Amino acid sequence: MLKRASDAGLLDVQLHNIRDYAAGKHQVTDDYPYGGGGGMVMKPEPVFAAVEAVLGIGAQSADYQSPVTNHPIPIVLLTPQGRVFNQRVAYELAQHERVALICGRYEGFDERIREHLATDEISIGDFVLTGGELAALVVVDAVIRLKPGALGDPEGASDDSHASGLLEYPHYTRPPEFRGWGVPEVLLSGDHAKVDRWRREQALRRTWLRRPDMLAAVELSQTDRKLLDTLRHVVDK
């Protein structure tokens, strides 16, 4: 899908090696942590230099210090300490024409990068990777499929799990019977209103069973509430 989006001109990913912006013969990008302890820390100079060169910002005025306060392109630090990535954050990023993603390595970044260069910090989950590249790919993939035209079906992303605040209803395709397992009758009925109702019920049921935490944040109709009450009732018994 990313290749297709890129061929269609919807996506342009430019990779930049921070090392290319590091000074000196050895182009060092990391150094020992002040205060001791294990691991290496990414130095501020090459990361600032890379982002400023790539985005064409900085150094224009004598009093320029950092892009944080006055730059319109989100400069996102990928870090396990960031706000946890989800569909809402993906929508947010999809509103932007350009996004800069900074991938760390080693023990992470010199704190001044977080304070004075990044405008946002994103974690893709409560686990620690060896580098930010896979996290960046996850973000790019989730964001690009929200761009109009990136998915074959323009409605494709609106029913997705998490898009509506609910997990998505189950899908079936042909054949109507596989190893003796059928397809819910309603899906073969051709009755669109009935199908819609069934899908809503299934989405609610799944979310309630698997991710009850999500229900608290979702807008529910009276019919939805009734259904959930019935589910609770059935399970209580």
Establish whether 33 is a catalytic residue: no
State in Å, rounded, how far the first CA of the chain is from the last one. Answer: 46
SS3 216: coil
- Is residue 132 a contact residue for ligand SAH (CB under 6 A)? yes
Establish whether 80 is a catalytic residue: yes
Q: Which candidate in 160, 170, 199, 200 is catalytic? A: 160
- With tokens 């400069």, the residue in question is 75
Nearer to ligand SAH among residue 18 and residue 203 (C-beta):
18
Nearer to ligand SAH among residue 93 and residue 203 (C-beta):
93
- Is residue 15 a contact residue for ligand SAH (CB under 6 A)? no
- Is residue 79 a contact residue for ligand SAH (CB under 6 A)? yes
CB contact at 8 A, 101 and 108: no
Nearer to ligand SAH among residue 102 and residue 203 (C-beta):
102
Establish whether 107 is a catalytic residue: yes
Picking from 109, 98, 103, the residue whose alpha carbon sits closest to that of residue 71 is 98
Among 11, 50, 101, 135, binds ligand SAH (CB under 6 A): 135
- Is residue 89 a contact residue for ligand SAH (CB under 6 A)? no
- Is residue 31 a contact residue for ligand SAH (CB under 6 A)? no
Site string for ligand SAH, 90-129 (x = CB under 6 A): -------------xxx-xxx-------------xxx-xxx
Which residue lies nearest ligand SAH, judged by its C-beta?
A: 104
Q: Which candidate in 107, 111, 115, 191 is catalytic? A: 107
Separation between Cα atoms, residue 171 and residue 149, nearest integer Å: 22
CB contact at 8 A, 76 and 139: yes
Q: How far is CA 31 from the centre of its chain?
A: 30
For the chain, the 3-state helix, strand and coil shares in percent, each to the nearest 5, are 40, 10, 50
- Is residue 142 a contact residue for ligand SAH (CB under 6 A)? no
Separation between Cα atoms, residue 206 and residue 199, nearest integer Å: 10
SS3 237: coil
Separation between Cα atoms, residue 41 and residue 43, nearest integer Å: 6
Q: Which two tokens stand for residue 4?
A: 């297709």
Establish whether 224 is a catalytic residue: no
Nearer to ligand SAH among residue 120 and residue 159 (C-beta):
120
- Is residue 29 a contact residue for ligand SAH (CB under 6 A)? no
Which residues contact ligand SAH (rule: CB under 6 A)? Answer: 78-81, 103-105, 107-109, 123-125, 127-129, 131-132, 135
Active-site residue numbers? 80, 107, 145, 160
